[in-house]
Amino acid sequence: MESMKYWLIQHPSIVSFRWTPTQLYGATWSFLISAISLYVIAALTLHLLLKLSRLRRSLPLGPIPALHSLIMSLVSVAIFTGTLFSAEAEARDTRWLWRRSRTTSFEWLLCFPLGTRPSGRVFFWSYVFYLSRFLHLLRTFFVVLRDRRLSFLRLFNNSVLLVMSFLWLEFSQSLQVLAILFYTSAYSVVCAFRFWTELGLPSKTPLSFTANCQLALLGCNLACHVGVLSLHYLRGGCNGIGAWLFNSLLNAAFLVQFLKSYVKTHSQRKSKSSCASSS
């Protein structure tokens, strides 16, 4: 346990981490905008080329999607563990300051004090989470190549997560610790489930399982946003509230798109089941 904690929260690179756009990979606005633009254009181009080629068979990808799901699950577990231990270490090291300001550890998870800088253990794992979003983008191309499907919801969701995780670091935004814990816990389970199904092992309803996990994640996220807003007015302000407001609008837009897709999918399943029972 001590060795694991050293590599997760006590390594000098983690303790001395600082978000600096000139020294870190992908830490500039130009890189973020270029990466999202390239991702959307590449996905749309690939989907269009496959449509024009009129290939009916899906391209064999072998074990690549399964390995990707396994890697994403393990990476999510590592980020979750590192963030959890880092939050506990920050709570232990700054407990004296919280007592003076009458702030609890849970309030700190929701609302960073004004003047918080993007440095230290927590922000290191926030940066790792940001980088992991680029690895997650590969799944879009797997779906296009194998299933010939490309939805606006997928492109929008992946782009929003990239922007959100970048804003967490750029503006030391409040709520990011809980958000990372929620996202990585959900992704570790979902990606492990996808790895299970990619291996051909039995699964009843993989689509509804992942959708329900996403719905639960959005519900927890919404509840935490209400807590941040309350603390912002009760405690005299939360750090990065402007970025939090922008992320809230992105989350609201994604929630609307997700609920439309969720209701549409379930209505189609009910119609299919009713047709099957009547026949």
Tell me the CA distances in angstroms from 226 to 139, 205, 230, 232, 245, one per residue in order: 32, 32, 6, 10, 12
- Reduced to 3 states, what is the DSSP secondary structure of residue 119? strand
Burial class (CB in 10 A: 0-12, 13-18, 19+), 190: buried
The mean pLDDT of 2-12, rounded to a whole number, is 86
pLDDT band at 266 (very low <50, low <70, confident <90, very high): low
Confidence bin at 180 (pLDDT 50/70/90):
very high
Q: If pLDDT is split at 50, 70 and 90, which confidence band does 273 have?
A: low
For tokens 């003047």, name the residue: 115
- Poorest-pLDDT segment among 9-18, 176-185, 247-256: 247-256
Could you tell me the pLDDT band of residue 207, with boundaries at 50, 70 and 90? Answer: low
* Helices 29-53 & 138-147 angle (0-180, nearest 10): 10
Residue 255 has pLDDT above 60, yes or no: yes
Q: In this predicted structure, what is the pLDDT of residue 220?
A: 81
pLDDT at 7: 87
In which residue are the tokens 């490309």 written?
Answer: 150
Output the pTM of the full model.
0.88
Question: In this predicted structure, what is the pLDDT of residue 132?
Answer: 95
- Which of residues 70 and 199 earns the better pLDDT score? 70
Q: In whole angstroms, what is the distance from residue 254 CA to residue 128 CA?
A: 23
Q: Can you give the pLDDT at residue 85?
A: 93
Extract the tokens encoding 89: 């270490």
Average pLDDT, the chain: 84
* Both tokens assigned to 258: 């997700």
- How crowded is residue 3: how many other Cβ atoms within 10 Å of its Cβ? 8
Q: What's the length of the chain?
A: 279
Give 14-33 as a DSSP string: HHT-B--TTTSTT-SHHHHH
In the prediction, which pLDDT does 177 show? 93
pLDDT in tens, 33-82: 999 999 999 999 999 988 888 766 777 888 899 999 999 999 999 999 99
Please choose, from the candidates 79, 70, 54, the residue with its C-alpha nearest in 3D space to the C-alpha of residue 197. Answer: 70
Tell me the average pLDDT across 215-242: 83
Name residues whose C-beta falls within 8 Å of residue 138's C-beta, 6 or more positions apart in sequence: 68
Average of pLDDT values for 243-262?
82
Write the single-letter amino acid at 39.
Answer: Y
pLDDT at 268 (0 to 100): 63
Distance CA(144)–CA(53), nearest Å, equals 13
| Alpha-carbon separation of residue 180 from 52, 83, 125 (angstroms) | 40, 8, 9
Within a 10 A sphere around the Cβ of 43, how many other Cβ atoms? 19
Question: In this predicted model, what pLDDT tens digit does every residue of 102-138 receive, in sequence order?
Answer: 667 778 888 888 888 999 999 999 999 999 999 999 9
